[in-house]
Amino acid sequence: MLADALLMTGTSFLPSFPPLQDQTIITRQPYNVGDAINLLRTSEKSVSATCAAFSDILNLQDRDWLDKYRKAKMGIKHCVTVHTDGSIHIRDFDHLTGDNHEYLGLQLPAELYSYLQKDVISSRLMDTFNSLEYHVLPTLDGFVSPEYRKLVTESLLPLKETSAALIAPRMHRGFLFKDITMRLWFDDENKPSLNHRRLQPQTNELVDVWGVKDSELKKLEAKSLEAGTLSFAAISLLDNKDLPAKTIGKGKTTGLSSKAEILSNSLWRLLHLRGYINKQHELTSWGKALATALKAIQPISEKHKDVHFIEEAAFVAFELIRFQNLHNRDHHPELIGGPLRGEEEDKANCMLISRVACLLKVRHSPIGYTGPLSKNFLSYHSIIKSIRETDRDLIEAIVASMLLSGQVTRDVKQYQGLGRSLPFDNDIDIAFGIAVKTYLDDCVNPESLKEDKEKRITRYANQYIPYAINFVEDLDVAFGFFDALYKGVKTLSDSEMKDAEKKTWDDAKAYLDARR
C-alpha cells in the first residue's frame, strides 16, 4: 500500500491523484502521503476501487489517470537498469508482458546511435522518434506570417510523414503504430499529427529499386559533373535518355559500398520522393526545369567550387516555387527592410530577385556581419529554413533507411562524415538577399552607362559591405543564378505554373537586365 500511496502523490512520470488536490476532500493542503493512505483505506486498499469511488472528479480532470498509474506501476516493476560493466538489465524479465513498449517505451536501434556518432545523421530525427513529437522551434524574427503558418502546418506535413515512413519500418514494430505529434511554438492548441502509417510500405518500396553501382556512375561522370551531387543526379537523367531503364533494379538493392554510390542513390531517391522523377525513373516537368537550371549554373559552380552553395539553392528555389513561396507578392509593409524605390512593379521585381539571392551564401570575412539589415527578409528566412530543414530530414531518413535495411555495406571508412556531404547541412543566412535588395533599390540607375554601374558596385561594396571578400564577383553570381532559375521556369507548362506567374519572372528578368 505504501508504494501505491507514494505513486498517488505524484512523480516525474505520473501526475498526482486529482482528488488529493481537492480541498473539499483533503482540507489541509498541501496533501501528503498520509492523505493518500487514508483514501486507499476507505476503498479496500485498492487504487482501482479508489478511482471508482472518485470517478466524478477523474472524469472532469483526468479520465486517463488510472491507465497512467498502471503504466507507472509496470514501469517500476520492470525498470531498466545499466550495470557498471555497461550491460542493460530489465527487472523481472521472465514476466515481462508483451505490451511492454507501452510503459517502458520504444528503444531506438543501437545502430542508429552509431550513425549519429559517425556524423551520418543528426539528432532531430532521433529526437522525433524518441519523444514521438516533432518540435517546430521559434524563428529569429518571431513573426508568424500567413504563408509561414500554412507552410509549417499544412504544406510540409507530407514531407515529414514521408521521412518517418522511411525509418519506422526499419525499427521496432511498435513505431509502425505510433503517430507523431507536432508542437508549434506559435500555437499551443494546434497539434497536427504525422500519420506515417498510410505511407507504409509503399514509400520504401518506391525508392528501394535505386541501386546504381560505381561501374555505371563512372560512365556518367564528366569534368564538371561529379557523382554524388544534386547536379549529377538531375543532369545525368536529362542528358542520357537510356539511363532511366538502367537504374531500375530487379531485386533488393544490396552491396552499395563507396561514398559515391551512397550519395548518388540517396539523391536520386530524394528527387523521386519529391516528384522530380517519376516511377519510370524519368524526369518529370519539375525535374526537367530543375535540371535545366542546374545545367545553366554549372559554369558558375565550377568556377567558384560551389562556395555559394548554388546547387542546393537551385533545389530549394524550386521547392519554394512549388510551395508557392517564391514570388513577388506578400511584401509585408509592416516589416521594415523591403524595397522602397520606384513604382509598385519595380518594388515587386526587386523583391523577387532579392528573395532568390537569399538562397545563396555571400563570401564574407570571418567576423560579424556589418551590412544593411531587414526584418522583412528575416521573416522570409523562416520560410526558407523550414523547407531546408524538412528536406534535410528527408535525405537523412533516406540514408538511414538504406543503412538499416542492409543495402549499404557497413564500412565505417565509407560513411564516416557522410552527413557533411549530404545537401542542406549548412544554414544559409539572408545577408546576400539584403545586399542585392539594397543595391538594386538604392544604388543603381538603370539609365546609367555600364562603366558608371561598375563604379557604383565597387563604391557600394566598400561603403555598405566592407568585409565582403569579393562582392562584385558575388553579385554576378547572384544575377547568373537568377538567369538559371529563369531558364528552368520557362520550361514549365501551364499546368505547373500559370502564364500570369511566368510573366512576373519575365518582368523581373527585364528589370534586372536594365540594371546590370
Please report the DSSP string for 70-137 in residue order: HHHHHHHHT-EEE-TTS-EEETTGGG--TTTHHHH-PPPPHHHHHHHHTTSS-HHHHHHHHHTEEEEP
Is the pLDDT assigned to residue 231 strictly greater than 80?
Answer: yes
How much of the chain exceeds pLDDT 70, in percent?
A: 100
Q: What was the pLDDT predicted at 102?
A: 78
Q: What was the pLDDT predicted at 274?
A: 98
Among 194-203, 255-264, 454-463, which is the least confidently predicted range?
Answer: 454-463
Is the pLDDT assigned to residue 113 strictly greater than 90?
Answer: no
The average pLDDT across 219-234 equals: 90
Q: What was the pLDDT predicted at 314?
A: 98
The confidence band for 177, taking pLDDT boundaries of 50, 70 and 90, is confident
**DSSP for residue 16:** P
The average pLDDT across 29-39 equals: 89
The answer to whether the CB of 39 falls within 8 A of the CB of 20 is: yes
* Residue showing cell 520492470: 78
Strand order in the sheet with 180-184: 133-136, 180-184, 193-194
Longest dimension (CA), the chain: 96
> Do strands 133-136 and 180-184 pair parallel, antiparallel, or not at all (unpaired)?
parallel
Distance CA(241)–CA(424), nearest Å, equals 29
The answer to whether the CB of 134 falls within 8 A of the CB of 180 is: yes
Among 30-39, 286-295, 307-316, which is the least confidently predicted range?
Answer: 30-39
Could you report the per-residue pLDDT of 85-99, keeping only the tens digit for each? 767 788 998 988 888
Q: What was the pLDDT predicted at 368?
A: 83
The confidence band for 101, taking pLDDT boundaries of 50, 70 and 90, is confident
Q: What was the pLDDT predicted at 455?
A: 84
Q: What was the pLDDT predicted at 411?
A: 79
Identity of the amino acid at 304: H
Could you give the 3-state DSSP secondary structure of residue 500? helix
82 phi and psi, to 5 degrees?
A: -110, 125
Cell readout for 123 is 539528432
Among 102-106, 205-209, 372-376, which is the least confidently predicted range?
Answer: 102-106
The confidence band for 43, taking pLDDT boundaries of 50, 70 and 90, is confident
In which element (H, E) is residue 447 found?
none
Quote the pTM value: 0.87
Q: SS3 breakdown of the chain: % helix, strand, coil, rounded to 5?
A: 55, 5, 35
Q: What is the mean pLDDT of the chain?
A: 92
The answer to whether the CB of 54 falls within 8 A of the CB of 65 is: no
The answer to whether the CB of 372 falls within 8 A of the CB of 340 is: no
Higher pLDDT, 367 or 414: 367
DSSP E strand stretches across 152-203 = 180-184, 193-194
> Do strands 133-136 and 88-90 pair parallel, antiparallel, or not at all (unpaired)?
unpaired
Could you report the per-residue pLDDT of 408-467, keeping only the tens digit for each? 988 777 777 789 999 999 989 999 999 999 999 988 777 777 778 788 888 898 888 999
Is the pLDDT assigned to residue 287 strictly greater than 90?
Answer: yes
Q: Which is nearest to 322 in space by CA: 501, 510, 144?
A: 501
How far is C-alpha 484 from the geometric centre of its chain's CA atoms?
25
The average pLDDT across 18-37 equals: 88
